[in-house]
Amino acid sequence: MKKPKDRIWLVMASSLILIYSSIPNWVGYASETEILSFKGIFFDPQDYAVHRSMIRSGMQGNWTYQFRFTTEPHQPAYTRLFYVVLGESNRLLHLDPAILFEITRWIFGFTALAALYSLMGHFFKEVFWRRIAFLLAVFGSGLGWLQLILGWTPGPFTPIDFWLIDAYVLFGIALFPHFAFVTAAICLVFLLYLDFLDKGGWHRIEGICVVAILTQFVNPIVCVLVDAAIACTTLLKWIQNRKIEIKQAIALGAIAAAQLPLLIYNVNLLTHDPLWSLFTRQNETISPPPVYYFWGFGLLWLFSLVGLFSMIQKKHAALFGATAWIVTGLLLSYAPLAIQRRFLHGVTIPLALLSVEGVRYATSYFAVRSQLLARRTRSIVILLAFFASFSIIYLVLGRSLFLRGHPAEFFYPASLNSALAWLDEHAPADSFVLCSAPSGLLVAQETDLRVYLGHPMETLYYLTRLEEVETFFRGNANPGWLENSGVKWILVGPYEQDTFGLTGISGTNTAIVYMSEEVAIYRVGP
């Protein structure tokens, strides 16, 4: 990416990509009414609430991750720190957390797209193929749209094109800035190592170590994908040269050693700590049957097979590394682990590398046999890339139209806004609020408070807590339960009224402190 025109193209393309990714959220805010407020995101509002709550945790001066959706005492941990650190930075910026979230999404979105384009530039020196590889990595998806047309969805899953955020680059950067951060990191690590193999320079290995360590603080497992890519790239070079390069072996050892301490820390925390291991079990992201992955990357598989043939023929070590990335992700996505799908983060990147190599190989093969095909090569390639990207394009436009109908999952009663503002102003930070799960997500998202019940994974013993809250609001809780719960505030609003038929609660140890037409807040204790 040395020419100014190339840089200008990247800035323009990245800007258009981020604008396109923002359309559903803009539609959501534009669809707000006097009685309905938008939750702030067009997909996965539950995890969005968690991330917003962690920004608030950082704004309070915390440097560790601690669940804000449970009253269970547990060990604060140095893991998943992206939004905590973001909140710490906001102690200087004083931005609204929602605005900070969106600004950060754009910043790291640009960073991820720049790193991705640079990686593609290492593989494809011709500008046309580099840009096609970049766009295919960003927009590449599957044939989920065809599954919907045919009505073919075996098992309990819908097409993964429309919900597996981790796998698709555009899906990730459209939603969460930490996804963009991780995507940028793994592209940068792969690129720096390929440059090290070509040019040497220990500063590149130092850079890899720093990036890998920072990435582990955000996503403890994702480095294994790019680790497999750089290890297999090196291995093939050694086989080709019939020689083990000591410098490269030392570099691999240094990269592994840099990651080992945090790997041990996270494995011990997430598997042996009594409460963090419970979170791990609740945080299940199990893979669907393999046929879903076949449909979910559709034409990319076909193009990649041709690319694989070209890679073997050319003995292309870096493409072999990209293949190892794909294979490692797929194998781990069916390993006996609770977080299977998480190992497919950004898998459209190596799939795009192999796919473009395959398309380039095929078109060059047929172009010499057909003058018509030779003249239309670029048009055909662009058309193929469009069909390989149709699902993700449809996702953004489809979600935008969907939000116009005010679906309950993405909008909440606007009457809660004043009550949440009152709580944030009058209740001490980190005190616990008792309410239904939908209200709990909003309380943690919009205030500095924590909740007894909210997120299905971050509320420890979630099903038990769900039953306890229902028992309380239906008036069947054991005497003294409320006083022993750790709760200091009770919110009764539209969600509690709809779920439990409540208009209020009664009790000798509560006092009403806020009342509006639809919402009441009670203080527990004197």
pLDDT-above-90 percentage for the chain: 90
How far, in Å, CA of 371 to CA of 5, rounded? 30
Residue 479 confidence class, pLDDT cut points 50, 70, 90: confident
pLDDT the model gives residue 315: 93
387-399 pLDDT, tens digit each: 999 999 999 999 9
Tokens for 23? 């359309």
User: What single-letter DSSP state applies at residue 525?
Assistant: -
Residue 2 confidence class, pLDDT cut points 50, 70, 90: low
How far, in Å, CA of 212 to CA of 200, rounded? 19
pLDDT-above-70 percentage for the chain: 98
217-264 pLDDT, tens digit each: 999 999 999 999 999 999 999 999 999 999 999 999 999 999 999 999
How far, in Å, CA of 115 to CA of 118, rounded? 5
pLDDT exceeds cutoff 70 at 372: no
Residue 525 confidence class, pLDDT cut points 50, 70, 90: confident
How many CB atoms are closer than 10 A to CB 60? 13
Q: What is the CA radius of gyration of the chain?
A: 25
How far, in Å, CA of 450 to CA of 431, rounded? 6
75 three-state secondary structure: coil
Residue 154 confidence class, pLDDT cut points 50, 70, 90: confident
Q: Which residues pair with 492 in a beta bridge?
A: 520
Q: Which residues pair with 490 in a beta bridge?
A: 434, 522
Which amino acid is residue 159, in one-letter code? P
pLDDT exceeds cutoff 90 at 368: no
How far, in Å, CA of 47 to CA of 210, rounded? 27
pLDDT the model gives residue 364: 85
pLDDT exceeds cutoff 70 at 270: yes
CA angle 82, 83, 89 (to 5 degrees): 95
Tokens for 306? 């041709």
Largest Cα–Cα distance in the chain?
88
CA angle 402, 404, 410 (to 5 degrees): 70
Query: Which residues, other chains included, contact 65 with Cβ-Cβ below 8 Å and sequence gap of 6+?
Result: 54, 57, 76, 77, 78, 79, 80, 81, 84
φ, ψ dihedrals at 95, nearest 5°: -90, 155
pLDDT exceeds cutoff 80 at 155: no
Quote the mean pLDDT of the chain.
94
| Average pLDDT rounded to a whole number, residues 481-508 | 89
| pTM score over 0.85 | yes
φ, ψ dihedrals at 368, nearest 5°: -70, -15
CA angle 275, 280, 286 (to 5 degrees): 160
Of 412, 411, 435, 413, nearest to 423 by C-alpha is 435
401-410, long-range: CB < 8 A, 24+ apart: 403/24, 403/27, 403/28, 403/31, 403/38, 403/42, 404/27, 404/31, 406/31, 406/33, 406/36, 409/45, 410/28, 410/38, 410/39, 410/41, 410/42, 410/45
How far, in Å, CA of 288 to CA of 174, rounded? 23
pLDDT exceeds cutoff 80 at 507: no
Which amino acid is residue 394, in one-letter code? Y
How far, in Å, CA of 182 to CA of 80, rounded? 12
Tokens for 154? 């075996």
Residue 374 confidence class, pLDDT cut points 50, 70, 90: low
How far, in Å, CA of 71 to CA of 469, rounded? 13
512 three-state secondary structure: strand
Q: Are 390 and 494 in contact (CB under 8 A)?
A: no
pLDDT the model gives residue 212: 98
φ, ψ dihedrals at 316, nearest 5°: -80, 105
Q: Which helix (H) or strand (E) holds 197?
A: helix 177-199
Tokens for 8? 């200008």
Q: Are 489 and 449 in contact (CB under 8 A)?
A: yes
pLDDT exceeds cutoff 80 at 473: yes
pLDDT the model gives residue 157: 82
| Average pLDDT rounded to a whole number, residues 333-361 | 96
Q: Which helix (H) or strand (E) holds 263?
A: helix 246-272
